[in-house]
Amino acid sequence: MQRIILHVDMDAFFASVEVMDNPSLSGKPLIIGALPGERGVVSTCSYEARKYGVHSAMNIKKAYQLCPSGIYMHPNYEKYKEISNKLHSIWCTYTDCLESIALDEAFLDITNNFKDFNEARKIAFEIKKRIKQELNLSCSVGLAYSKSAAKIASEEKKPDGYFEITSEKDFVNLIIDRDVRTLYSVGKMTAEKLKKYGIKTVRDVRKNSEKVIDILGKSGRFIVNLSSGIDERKVIPHEPKDAKSISREITFQQDVDNVTFLKDVLFLLSICVEKRAKRLGLYGNGVILKVTYADMKSITRSKNIPSSNDYLKIYVEAKKMLLKIKRGPVRLLGVGLYNLSEKYMEQLSFFDTLADNKVKSEGAKKRLLLAVAKKYGVNLLPYLDKTHLKGNLYETIEKMRSKL
């Protein structure tokens, strides 16, 4: 049976969500990532900004050189996650075989739901219509017989596009003279390695299949197959329990060596981890701390804990580890849960006797948040929401840092 796969990819997702919230930004070069002069890279940008040569992963300083008239904003990941959840709710009405690639991108295997490409085509346009009507956002959809073909199809007519590739022959005809990096899994280093042997295009791969396999081994055989349109990878639904860890981290615009501030940031990050873990119904059996210093050297520390997704237990352990590592200016701070499980293993632990853990109620969380808020003169009440963070964590922490 021929597989029928859709690849749905939102158009300039972060930027489009900001335009949805503030229509006055429509039609303007909007760049999400950092402000001019700050550290950071472009997370995404509007199509108007792309006309200036700005693109994702570009250093924000370079982006400003190319587009000084652009509107620069910090990302609000909590808001984007909320919209992403709504997108997934739409996609899941058409199949239970959905592989999420990112907040704004997914493969849908609809082989068992619709009998042929004619029916699938109608579903593709129905998905586009629903996303536009329900969320006022646009997406591009690729319909194809394989994952790699569907991915390329969705990129073919961006933005707000639709394209289909229904056979291996059509796939090969479309990409035969394109750069070898068109093929899935061929990154910059692999492409450079192949180009040393004169293999620059998909056609070159097909002509030199044995050489490609000699150069790259097992991955080379996969690439050779792709050049002929052969891709047997399945769409693999990812369940929450499949996650290896849940974490949240923040990169400061200026290095920080104030330990009290770092502990307060850990407290907010721990709340973020708790919210995501509870939303997914997961518990962790370990806490991990990540620190990157000003010289870009990173360290991680971890500690096993009894099964939990409680912010206070996460925070207490992360704080202990923070106080034991070497002091120095910190560029990035992160905390997370690992060894995840859907099952809660209840047991008495030393947390039950810790002075830090006086009360585990939401009332205790509110009192702690208000204490931190008063110290820095910021509003932390949005962090009391039981499911989502309504505020912008990055901007909140930067406001806190500015008060040091």
pLDDT in tens, 45-64: 999 999 999 999 999 999 99
Supply the pLDDT for residue 334: 94
pLDDT of residue 385 exceeding 90, the answer is: no
Q: Which residues pair with 250 in a beta bridge?
A: 333
Domain layout of the chain by residue ranges: 5-13+78-170, 14-75, 175-227, 240-402
Cβ atoms 228, 168 nearer than 8 A = yes
First and final CA of the chain: distance in angstroms? 63
Supply the pLDDT for residue 359: 45
pLDDT in tens, 4-60: 999 999 999 999 999 999 999 999 999 999 999 888 899 999 999 999 999 999 999
Q: What is the 3-state secondary structure (H, E, C) of the chain?
A: CCCCEEEEEECCHHHHHHHHHCHHHCCCCEEECCCCCCCCECCEECHHHHCCCCCCCCEHHHHHHHCCCCEEECCCHHHHHHHHHHHHHHHCCCCCCEEEEECCEEEEECCCCCCCHHHHHHHHHHHHHHHHHHHCCCEEEEEECCHHHHHHHHHHCCCCCEEEECCHHHHHHHHCCCEHHHCCCCCHHHHHHHHCCCCCEHHHHHHCHHHHHHHHCHHHHHHHHHHCCCCCCCCCCCCHHHCCEEEEEEEEEEEECCHHHHHHHHHHHHHHHHHHHHHHCCEEEEEEEEEEECCCCEEEEEEEEEEECCHHHHHHHHHHHHHHCCCCCEEEEEEEEEEEECCCCCCCCHHHHCHHHCCCCHHHHHHHHHHHHHHHCCCCHHHHCCCCCCCCHHHHHHHHHHCC
Q: Could you tell me which CATH class the domain 14-75 is placed in?
A: alpha beta
pLDDT of residue 352 exceeding 70, the answer is: no
Instruction: Phi first, then psi: give them for residue 69, nearest 5 degrees.
Output: -90, 5
Average of per-residue pLDDT values in the chain: 90
pLDDT in tens, 200-215: 999 999 999 999 999 9
Supply the pLDDT for residue 170: 97
64-68, 99-103, 339-343: which has the minimum mean pLDDT?
Answer: 339-343
CATH 3.30.1490.100 fits 240-402, yes or no: yes
Q: How large is the average pLDDT for residues 259-282? A: 91
Q: How large is the average pLDDT for residues 172-197? A: 95
Q: Out of 99, 105, 317, 398, pick the active-site residue.
A: 105
Q: State what percent of residues in the chain have pLDDT above 70.
A: 92
Q: How large is the average pLDDT for residues 124-151? A: 96
pLDDT of residue 355 exceeding 60, the answer is: no
**Confidence category of residue 361, pLDDT binned at 50, 70, 90:** low
Q: Could you tell me which CATH class the domain 175-227 is placed in?
A: mainly alpha
pLDDT of residue 364 exceeding 80, the answer is: no
CATH code: domain 5-13+78-170 is 3.30.70.270
pLDDT of residue 184 exceeding 50, the answer is: yes
Query: Max Cα separation, the chain?
Result: 70
105 is catalytic: yes
Residue 113 to residue 107: CA distance in whole angstroms: 14
Residue 303 to residue 318: CA distance in whole angstroms: 9
